[in-house]
Amino acid sequence: MHEFFAALSEQGFLRTALAAGVLASVGCGIMGSFVVVKRIGYLAGGIAHSVLGGMGAALYFGFSPLAGALAAALVAAMLIGLIRLNWKAAEDTLIGALWAIGMAVGIIFIAKTPGYSTDLMSYLFGNILLVPTRDLWIMASLDVFLLAAVGLFYRQFLAVVFDEEFADLRGVPVPFFYLALLCLVAVTVVLLIQVVGLILVIALLTLPAAIAGHYVQSLNMMMIVATILGGVFTTGGLAISYAPDLPPGPTMILLAGGAYVASAIFSRLLARHRARPR
């Protein structure tokens, strides 16, 4: 481990990777808390996978892949959100369909794009060691934007994720804030996929917030704890992966996943212990 800390002072790319992990943790901590309490992890997964279709199409037609990804994610978010608000029933089937179709479209476009040879693995797992400094600024701006949006409308977002019917009766425009929430999740997913890859985004979006949910009693506390845990997992994963030369993304995911399983068991035992008559 001390090898890692020694390298940290010498290698600029490691410091950039560290910063990327922490900045990703902030966005994922905020939006992930909403995803976990609203139980829309599967929906976030569907949005994330539809992104591949948008990226593939953009590459094929010669647009910026980021623009393609953003368009695909927002379309997917609005589609899923509107179906959920208006029909209620077919939501999970639709998410599954978008998930599969998005990936299929993306793979076909990538196969047919001349001269484009990026392998799928880097899209899935990203490479946090190759993050350009410019992307750090994009991520920092995203974090500031998310903090501002959620900070200004915290009451409305809380009301909508807690109790939609009651929020509606109190005059909160529920469809607007629900769709806004999904779009914020979509934007978060897209920007972070560029940096850390799809699977790490889903892991960071759900696992730290879920662990926090085992212990905290408020949504804002959940966001803070999830952000800190995300920072611990990305930094820890980077450190662990350095000496044995493991891919850092999957190492971070396994660290977060292991912590989640351990916490689920521990919190269960804790609850049982507390419930015991004294």
Partner 1 sequence: MTSAAKPVIELEHVSFSYTGTPVVDRIDLVVERGEFLGIVGPNAGGKSTLLKLILGLLKPHSGRIRVLGREPVQAQRAIGYVPQYPSFPRDFPINVEQAVLLGRLGTGPLIGGFRRADRIAVQRALSDVEADTLARLPIRTLSGGQLQRVLLARALVSDPEILILDEPTANIDQRLEYDIFAKLRELQAHKTILVVSHDIGFISGYVNRVACINRTLVCHQTDAIDGRVISEMYGDNVRMVAHRH
Q: What amino acid occupies position 15?
A: R
Q: Which of 116, 162, 261, 270 binds partner 1 (CB under 8 A)?
A: 162
Closest distance of CB 96 from partner 1, Å: 23
- 181 in contact with partner 1 (CB under 8 A): no
Q: Which of 35, 80, 103, 172 binds partner 1 (CB under 8 A)?
A: 172
- 244 in contact with partner 1 (CB under 8 A): no
Closest distance of CB 84 from partner 1, Å: 16
- 170 in contact with partner 1 (CB under 8 A): yes
Q: What string of DSSP letters covers 198-220?
A: HHHHHHHHHHHHHHHHTT-SSHH
- DSSP secondary-structure letter at 128? G
CA distances from residue 189 to 14, 60, 112, 142, 161 in whole angstroms, order as listed: 23, 22, 25, 11, 19
Closest distance of CB 278 from partner 1, Å: 16
Among residues 107 and 149, whose Cβ is nearest to partner 1?
Answer: 149
Under 8 Å CB-to-CB from 268, ≥6 apart: which residues? none
> Residue 44 corresponds to which tokens in the numbers above?
């976030």
- 174 in contact with partner 1 (CB under 8 A): no
Closest distance of CB 216 from partner 1, Å: 5
- 165 in contact with partner 1 (CB under 8 A): yes
Among residues 243 and 271, whose Cβ is nearest to partner 1?
Answer: 271
- 92 in contact with partner 1 (CB under 8 A): no
Residue pointed to by tokens 């850092």: 248
- 153 in contact with partner 1 (CB under 8 A): yes
Task: Determine how many CB atoms are found less than 10 A away from the CB of residue 161.
Answer: 21
18-47: which residues touch partner 1 (CB under 8 A)?
Answer: 37, 39
- 137 in contact with partner 1 (CB under 8 A): no
Q: Which of 110, 150, 158, 184 binds partner 1 (CB under 8 A)?
A: 158
- 167 in contact with partner 1 (CB under 8 A): yes
Contacts by 242-251, CB closer than 8 A, 24 or more apart:
242/3, 242/4, 242/7, 242/14, 243/1, 243/3, 243/4, 247/125, 247/127, 248/17, 248/127, 248/128, 248/129, 249/125, 249/126, 249/127, 249/128, 249/196, 249/197, 249/199, 249/200, 250/125, 250/199
Among residues 6 and 152, whose Cβ is nearest to partner 1?
Answer: 152
Distance CA 119, CA 115 (A): 12
202-241: which residues touch partner 1 (CB under 8 A)?
Answer: 213, 216-219, 221-222
Interacting residues toward partner 1 by CB under 8 A = 37, 39, 152-156, 158-159, 162-172, 213, 216-219, 221-222
